[in-house]
Structure 1
Amino acid sequence: MDEIDKLIERHQNLSKISVAFLYSIAVSIAVNMFWTPGGIYGSGVTGAAQLISTISERWFPFHISTAVMYFAFNAPLFVLAWRKIDHNFTVFTIIAVAFASLMMHFFPTAKITADPLVCAIFGAVANGFGTGMALRNGISTGGIDIVGIILRKKTGKSVGTINIMFNLFIIACAGFLFGWVHALYSAISIFINGQVIDMIYNKDQKLQVMIVTSKPKYVIKEIQSEMRRGITIVHDAEGAFKHEEKTILFTVISRAELNDLETAMTLSDPHAFVSVTDTVKILGRFYQKHIY
């Protein structure tokens, strides 16, 4: 049994390293092929690293690359992640950041288009995809992601939303230093980046589930074996078509658990009526799985 657990852990670790490398490619494409050539500033630490790199190139006697600043800004946040999140999580975050720094340094800069709006959109999609995939697989890309995960636990806001809020500072700096047109395009890029992250990393999104069933015991057993969720039971409901006695069950799940819910319903009562709707806000206790 120990050997099987080791094999599973090894497979998971290799998967995380692969995703970290995928992220490094995505962020390198965003920075070197779209954002930097288009004069667009990315989100979070990446955008801050770009700003310092641009300032050093224009006004300092020496130039500090975005890749170097990206790693330097992330270094103190590794300590925060080690203390507040998880050691294993932090190790893979360091791997992801190291990969990204190396790829940004060695990946060739290519100006595909001179249109800053196109650069803003495609850079955001590339970076958002890489960041979302990393978070979905239990690793972070450093910077604002680490802060966002910690604040998410306290505020309940999505990682993408927190990312957008932190990036108002980047937009302001871009506007004061390099013109408000580029600040506008940077704002568009940051917004799209946050939305792409939220689409891919959907574990934060809550769904309310209403189940009308004639087999409540089987449904409850399957849901609670598949997911760690509380269920509210409403007895003595009646179907208007056949006037059969029904039971209504209410629960709240994360979007990441939607497939688990479908599996549980198929096994327990495939003929049950199930309604799933977005939940705006949850008050009270809601079990949130650790990201790692």
Structure 2
Amino acid sequence: MLKGKQKEFWQDTVTKLTIALIYAFLYSIALNFFWQPGQIYAGGITGISQILTTLFDRGSGANIPISIIYYLLNVPMFILAWFKINKKFVVFTVISVTFASFAMYIVPNISLTNDPIICAIFGGVINGFSLGLALKYGISTGGMDALIITLRQHTGRSIGAISMMINGVIILTAGYLFSWPYAFYSLLAIFVSGKVTDLVYVKHQKVQVMVITQKPAEVIAALQEDLTRGITVIPQGYGAYDHQEQTILITVITFYEMEILNRIMKEVDQKAFVSVSQDIKILSHFEELNIV
């Protein structure tokens, strides 16, 4: 059993390191191929790093790489993640930030186009995909992720929505200091990035599940053990065709947990009827499970 757990641990670690590396280079491509040449200001700490780099260059002529400022600004976020999320989260945050900083430094600035709209859209798509991919595998990408995830846990809002609100303030600051037209292009990039992130990272999306089963005790036990969700039980239902007694179970899970639900139903009751309703709205408290 211990060897099995160790194998699972190392497989998970290798997977996360691989995803962190892929994220780092995709993010650097978005920044160095599209946003920097197109004068598009990114959101989050990268955007702040761009602003500070520009101010240093214009004020004193100091050419400080964005990668260095980016890494230094992430240190307070490491501390927030340490106290607000968990230590494993911080470890992979430091790793992903280190990978990203290194990739920013070695990936050259290549101007594929001078059209700011194209730079904003394609940079936003690549950035949003890389961020969503990292979060899907439980990896913080640094920047304001720790702050955003903390806010998501308290407010229930999506990752993309919170990102757009915070980043909007940063971009408006860049517009005020430098150029309003490019600030609006930057807002377009953030909007596209947020939408793509939400398409890839679906953990926060909620679905309502109705299970009609003749094995309620077994199904309830399995659902509560693996999903730790509340379940409403409606007993003594029956089928109109065969008139056999059925029990109806209703619960709400995240889209991310659908694979777990599928596995449970295959193992416990393959004959159960399972109905899934998407795009539901939760008015009461819904507990978010840990990201890692």
**C-alpha distance after superposition, 1:14-67 (max 9, x if no partner):** 222212111110111010001011111112111111122222233332122211
Quick one: distance in 1 between partners of 2:173 and 2:287? 39
CA RMSD for the aligned pairs? Answer: 2.0
The answer to whether the aligner puts 1:202 opposite 2:240 as a matched pair is: no
Superposed, 1:184-263 pairs within 5 Å as 184-241=184-241, 243-263=243-263
Could you say what secondary structure the match of 2:276 adopts?
strand
Q: Deviations 1:214-261 (Å, cap 9, x if unpaired)?
A: 443343234334422221111233444555543221101111111111
Q: TM-score, normalised by structure 1?
A: 0.91
Is the CA contact (8 Å cut-off) linking 1:204 and 1:254 kept in structure 2? yes
2:77–2:144 contact (8 Å) kept in structure 1: no
Task: Deviation per CA, 1:160-187: give whole Å up to 9, x if none.
Answer: 2211110111221232133322122111
How many angstroms does 1:142 deviate by? 1.2
Task: Measure the CA separation in 2 of the matches of 1:271 and 1:20.
Answer: 40
AA aligned opposite 2:112: I
Q: Match of 2:16?
A: 16
- Supply the distance in 1 between the matched residues of 2:45 and 2:88 (Cα, whole angstroms): 22
- Is the 1:228–1:287 Cα contact (8 Å) retained in structure 2? no
The answer (yes or no) to whether the contact 1:218–1:268 under 8 Å persists in 2 is yes
Partner of residue 279, structure 1: 280
- Asked whether the 8 Å contact 1:52–1:64 carries over to 2, the reply is no
Q: Structure 2: state its 5+ residue gaps.
A: none
Summarize the Cα distance change of 1:168–1:214 in structure 2 as closer, same or farther, 3 Å threshold: same
> What letter matches 1:246 in structure 2?
Q
Task: Decide whether the 8 Å contact of 2:45 with 2:73 is kept in 1.
Answer: yes
Alignment deviations for residues 185-214 of structure 1 (CA, whole Å, 9 cap, x no partner)? 111111111122222222222211122334
Report % sequence identity.
44
CA deviation after TM superposition for structure 1 residue 104, in Å = 0.6
Change (3 A) 1:91 1:222: closer
Q: Which residue of 2 aligns with 1:111?
A: 111
Distance 1:10 1:271, change over 3 A: closer
Gap regions ≥5 residues in structure 1: none
Q: Name the CA distance, whole Å, in 1 between partners of 2:263 and 2:124.
A: 35
- Per the normalisation by structure 2, the TM-score is 0.91
